[in-house]
Amino acid sequence: MKPLLLTNEYPPNIYGGAGIHVQYLSRELSRICDVEVRCFGKQLVEGQNPEVFGTTPDKSDYTAPKELQSVFSALQNCLNFNTRDIDADVVHLHTWYSHFGGILAHLNYGLPMALTVHSLEPLRPWKREQLGGGYDFTLWLEKAAVEMANAVIAVSNETREDILRLFDVPEERVPVIYNGIDPDEYTPTFDKTTLEKYGVDPDIPYVFFVGRITRQKGIIHLVNAIHYLDPSTQVVLCAGAPDTPEIAAEMEAAVNTARAEFGGKIVWIEEMVATDEKIHLYSHASLFCTPSIYEPFGIINLEAMACETPVVASAVGGIKEIIIHGETGVLVPLEQQSESPFEATDPAAFASDLAAGINELMRDNDTRERMAKAGRERVLSTFSWSEIAKETLALYKKIAK
């Protein structure tokens, strides 16, 4: 059995959870079968396992509107995935960027097709800000791929419910296979030089955030919550890769307002830091905050918990299946509008509630220590990449019969 994984993100070009998923899944699968990865970004690894082929189209002659160029370049990458001969037994897709490539491989090469749902386009309406009319295309493309796939892997039970509600897919085609973590890599590791490098005061307890600047991750809600935090708390935001210039400007304005109103220290690291530095930042943090308004799973929560950092998170999506409220962290309810379910009904109230959860936990050292130990124990017992790879390989064999 040889799977071909199609993906936008793959090391060294990773900026989100889907890329982390493919990185570790391909590594673990390579220990039990041959694996090939085709990805965006020029690279070529032959004679190793996994093999890797990366492609980048020349966009210099594009005259289409800027918001459509990422859509068209994704389609050209997907064509490049298929003009290179395929000798795999099954094709496995990750995010809409790779869906057209999977459809081509499925129809032209006759490969069984698996698709992991890391997020769902109908539940990310803010993507229209980034893609314009391209968002309508991604809606169509995702629907076509999901309903064509031999298996649609949900990363959480709530995501499975969303798939069955939004698409015409038989229940038996939608298994749940969680994301995972490498607890040997993500383990409490302390190095104050990383803190000093980014201007973090090692003597002041801090709450930590890491993620892209996007509506989905709810970063603006956390920045607005800073106003309500105890000024003895330091806030460290590792936030970059904004979806649009508009949300980048909104983030900058929100941080400037928070700095003017907050009596404590705010550190904004405007880049995606190296993994080892991220682990240092997790490990030194008093707690981690995940303010997402939509989160099918949330690998960042596993990363924090593996580093023995308790989590304060919004009670949405797969986060509720990772964090046990009161045991490994605190879940903050997020009331959402029925007509626009992925916006907070009262953003000010949500920001206040986030701050209340953070303040309560920051004041309680004993509870934080207890949650820190319980969080790592939960990661070790439930979210193993080696077991996830075995489940995934079994699924490949099932759909390839």
Using CA of residue 242, residue 6, residue 297, residue 19, what is the dihedral sign? negative
Please report the pLDDT score of residue 114 as a whole number.
98
Is 393 inside a domain boundary? yes
- What is the average pLDDT across 321-348? 83
Q: Is residue 372 located within the same domain as residue 394?
A: no
Please report the pLDDT score of residue 341 as a whole number.
57
Domain count, the chain: 2
Q: Is residue 102 located within the same domain as residue 207?
A: no
pLDDT tens per residue, range 135-173: 999 999 999 999 999 999 999 999 999 999 999 999 999
Q: Is residue 285 located within the same domain as residue 357?
A: yes
Q: Is residue 371 located within the same domain as residue 389?
A: no
Q: How far is CA 151 from the centre of its chain?
A: 21
* Contact between residue 266 and residue 235 where contact means Cβ atoms under 8 Å apart: yes
Q: How far is CA 175 from the centre of its chain?
A: 19
Q: Is residue 329 located within the same domain as residue 274?
A: yes
* Contact between residue 208 and residue 282 where contact means Cβ atoms under 8 Å apart: yes
> What pTM, to 2 d.p., does this model score?
0.85
We report the CATH number of the domain holding residue 307 as 3.40.50.2000
Q: Is residue 201 located within the same domain as residue 335?
A: yes
Q: Is residue 209 located within the same domain as residue 99?
A: no
3-state secondary structure (DSSP) of residue 216: helix
Is 186 inside a domain boundary? no
* Contact between residue 146 and residue 192 where contact means Cβ atoms under 8 Å apart: no
Is 261 inside a domain boundary? yes
Is 185 inside a domain boundary? no
> Per-residue pLDDT for 345 more than 80?
no
Locate 353 and state its tokens. Answer: 């509630």
pLDDT tens per residue, range 247-306: 999 999 999 999 999 999 999 999 889 999 999 999 999 999 999 998 999 999 999 999
Please give the Cα distance from 237 to 222 (Å, whole number): 9
Q: Is residue 378 located within the same domain as residue 299?
A: yes
Q: Give the domain range for residue 133.
A: 3-180+384-399
